[in-house]
Amino acid sequence: MAALIRSNIADGLLRSDKAEEAIPLLQTLLADPLLRPERIGESTVAGYRVMLARALRNMGRYAEALPIAEAAATTTERILGPDDYTTLVQMSLVASIHDYAGDCAKALPIARTVRERMAKRYGEERQATLIETGNLGFKEYDCGNRDAGLTYLRLAESGLRKHFGQDNVAAHSFRYALAGNLAEQGRYAEALEMVEGLSVPALTAGDSTPGWEHRLQALRGQILMQSGRRAEGRPLLTSAVASLTQLEVADEEQLKSWQFLLQTP
């Protein structure tokens, strides 16, 4: 019960974008002799290690996160099997750490394996499979296979909406990414169509960082400006960038990109 309470607090901190507070809590939990694997179970401890790895990843501490995530996934696979849902989700975390660290050669094979096993075991239309399809789309796109990335993201976004409702949180997260990627490829009409179907409450539910209404406005303004409708897009982007700067929640690289676009004649 003590482990469950501590892990729930850590999970709440992670979901509130407070990884720096979750890390010491999880490290203390894992070091507690009363909570050794032989007392509370190896798979339970592996789950807590996964939470720690996720927190470290979110803080950009990839070299620390990777061996913890790999060890947890190995333990879970030994206990539950290679195609178990928990094993596959933990493998997906390992792939994401490689991806965040810029190691496509290691991220892609794992992500492809996870998606393939998830579909084979649980079906193409299960929510878990569709989420891993979208996750693979992120990695394919980031690693250079733009067409494959967009295809997987579309499959995930449309499948989640069709089978799990228009307000599905993961669907909106993938749709937001898809809009940005389509704009990057110069497919502005499709990108705007994606933006128009996005919901601020759903995006906020998926990522509690404040300012989603401003990110959405900025993306709409960006696409309008890039498509030649600068008079429509500039006021939207200018206002959104000012709000995000004040909130201090914008991704630095994204913010620089928007500021550069505003400075371009």
Give all domains of the chain, ordered by start, each with its CATH number: 1-100 (1.25.40.10), 102-208 (1.25.40.10), 212-265 (no CATH)
Is the Cβ–Cβ distance between 226 and 201 less than 8 Å? Answer: no
pLDDT at 118 over 80: yes
Question: What is the pLDDT of the chain when averaged over all its residues?
Answer: 94
Q: Which two tokens stand for residue 169?
A: 């949180």
Phi/psi-derived region of residue 103, left when phi > 0, alpha when psi is between -120 and 50, beta in every other case: beta
Of the pLDDT bands very low, low, confident and very high (cuts 50, 70, 90), residue 252 is: confident
**In angstroms, rounded to a whole number, what is the distance separating the alpha carbons of residues 168 and 203?**
9
Q: Which range is least confidently modeled, 11-15, 44-48, 54-58, 192-196?
A: 11-15
Is the Cβ–Cβ distance between 203 and 176 less than 8 Å? Answer: yes
- Please count the helices (runs of H) and the strands (runs of E) in the chain: 15, 0
pLDDT in the model for residue 40: 94
Beta strand extents in 165-254 (DSSP E only): none
Q: pLDDT digits over 192-221, tens only?
A: 999 999 999 999 988 878 899 999 999 999
pLDDT at 250 over 90: no
Burial label, 150 (beta-carbon count in 10 A; 0-12, 13-18, 19+) = buried
